[in-house]
């Protein structure tokens, strides 16, 4: 068996449905060991991947070439710090940390030690976001003025667990969960933020962390991002509505990769990441209007969604470790996003716009 030996810390949803399938199907990587204390999960790890099961992350330091941290959010910083000090490159599931200061400390440590530190911002490799990026780069939308992005779901009954019942000490709630993706995409698409406004609520009984959040970001470019994350959206809005000076892009429905991974498919499965035509987004300007020639869709055409590629993240990890390529997600970019998330939390608590220093 060849490839970099990977030690995966955590085998919950993130570890089982995202990291393990992606690692095991990426050329140049081998899932060597998994840390879990759950007997059922341990049996799955052994049977499905043939990986060694460890009871503690410290057991990995001398036997792997790369550490992937997919454990509860509150453990990300101490585990990443320990792995780096053990001389190992690290992938951390988002969010990297609760604060930009903590994230900056990890980034500085990795740089001083000459080790890779990167964060699993997999939604950069969503098919719809890849499509949007190319439309913007090719000038199809003109100058983007407004970016509306949503991760909305209808889950009126809480599922339980620390993500819903935990507080700030657990880095729980949607702001730091789905909000990490929303803000990351907005900054990658439209550039640095100058100020932030947010509304964050707890709508369901028995939940302690935010489950209904809105973030408004003003960018240095003059564009604005409006971002929603909700577990109580009985009628979800579009995944993207992006308005430019020439045209707009409208897209409903989530990227298909998560549902495929949860169904047991992997990047090695035929058709993985490919979206059916009925789920494609549309591009254009509705010049006809409801009563105009061609109806309400006059001037609008369907745009094929590019195949999503979460595997692209781990291919970039291999390139970084074996050929010296840049990491797939730079720690400095994560610090920038966490600065916005911290400002959003402060804005919601103080009910005001927060202006960022040195944007």
Q: pLDDT digit string (tens) for 220-263?
A: 999 999 999 999 999 999 999 999 999 999 999 999 999 999 99
pLDDT at site 160: 87
Mean pLDDT (whole number) for 15-26: 97
CB 31 within 8 A of CB 24: yes
**Considering the entire predicted model, what is its pTM?**
0.94
pLDDT number for residue 297: 59
| pLDDT of 1 higher than 70 | no
**What are the b/e assignments for 314-347, b being 16+ CB within 10 Å?**
bbbbbebbeeeeebbbebebbbbbbbbbbbbbeb
Q: Which CA distances in Å does 210 have to 164, 214, 227, 343, 348?
A: 8, 10, 15, 15, 11
Q: What per-residue confidence (pLDDT) applies to 292?
A: 41
Which pLDDT score is estimated for 359?
57
pLDDT confidence of 46, banded at 50, 70, 90? very high
pLDDT per residue as tens digits for the range 175-194: 999 999 999 999 999 999 99
- Please report the pLDDT score of residue 296 as a whole number: 47
| pLDDT value of residue 289 | 56
Crossing angle for the helix pair 331-350 and 178-190, nearest 10 degrees?
Answer: 110
In this predicted structure, the answer to whether residue 89 has a pLDDT above a threshold of 60 is yes
Q: The tokens of 354 are what?
A: 């927060």
Torsion, CA 258, CA 263, CA 269, CA 275, rounded to 10: -50
Q: How confident is the model at residue 2 (pLDDT cuts 50, 70, 90)?
A: confident
Which residue is it, tokens 């939390």?
345
Report the chain's terminal Cα–Cα distance, integer Å: 47
Q: Mean of the per-residue pLDDT values for the chain? A: 95
pLDDT(358) > 50: yes
Domains of the chain: 4-120 (3.40.50.720), 124-309+340-350 (3.30.360.10)
Q: Which stretches does DSSP call E strand in 210-356? A: 212-219, 224-230, 240-244, 248-251, 281-284, 300-303, 354-355
> What is the predicted pLDDT for the residue at 291?
44
Check residue 14 and report its DSSP letter: I
pLDDT in tens, 279-298: 999 999 986 655 444 444 56
């Amino acid at each position: 068996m060849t490839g970099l030996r990977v030690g995966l810390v955590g085998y919950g949803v993130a570890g089982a449905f995202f990291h393990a399938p992606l690692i095991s199907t990426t050329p140049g990587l081998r899932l060597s060991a998994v840390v879990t204390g759950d007997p059922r999960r341990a049996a799955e790890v052994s049977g499905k991947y043939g990986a060694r099961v460890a009871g503690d992350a410290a057991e990995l330091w001398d036997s792997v070439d790369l550490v992937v941290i997919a454990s509860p959010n509150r453990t990300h910083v101490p585990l990443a710090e320990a792995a780096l000090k053990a001389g190992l490159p690290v992938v951390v599931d988002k969010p990297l940390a609760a604060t930009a200061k903590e994230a900056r400390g990890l980034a500085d440590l990795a740089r001083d030690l000459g080790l890779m530190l990167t964060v699993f911002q997999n939604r950069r490799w969503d098919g719809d976001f890849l499509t949007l990026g190319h439309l913007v780069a090719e000038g199809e939308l003109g100058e983007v003025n407004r970016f509306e992005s949503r991760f909305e779901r209808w889950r009126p009954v809480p599922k339980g667990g620390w993500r819903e019942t935990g507080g700030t000490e657990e880095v729980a709630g949607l702001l730091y969960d789905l909000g990490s993706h929303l803000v990351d995409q907005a900054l990658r698409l439209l550039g640095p933020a100058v100020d932030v406004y947010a509304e964050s609520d707890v709508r369901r009984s028995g939940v302690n962390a935010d489950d209904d959040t809105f973030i408004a970001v003003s960018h240095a470019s003059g564009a604005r991002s409006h971002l929603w994350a909700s577990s109580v959206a009985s009628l979800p809005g579009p995944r993207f509505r992006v308005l430019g000076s020439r045209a707009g892009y409208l897209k409903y429905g989530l990227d298909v990769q998560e549902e495929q991974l949860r169904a047991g498919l992997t990047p090695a499965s035929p058709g993985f990441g490919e979206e059916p035509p009925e789920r494609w987004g549309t591009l254009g300007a509705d010049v006809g209007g409801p009563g105009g020639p061609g109806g309400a869709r006059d001037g609008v055409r369907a745009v094929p969604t590019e195949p999503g590629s979460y595997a692209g993240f781990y291919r970039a990890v291999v390139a970084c470790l074996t050929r010296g390529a840049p990491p797939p997600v730079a720690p400095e970019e994560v610090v920038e996003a966490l600065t916005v998330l911290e400002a959003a939390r402060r804005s919601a608590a103080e009910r005001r716009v927060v202006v960022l220093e040195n944007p």
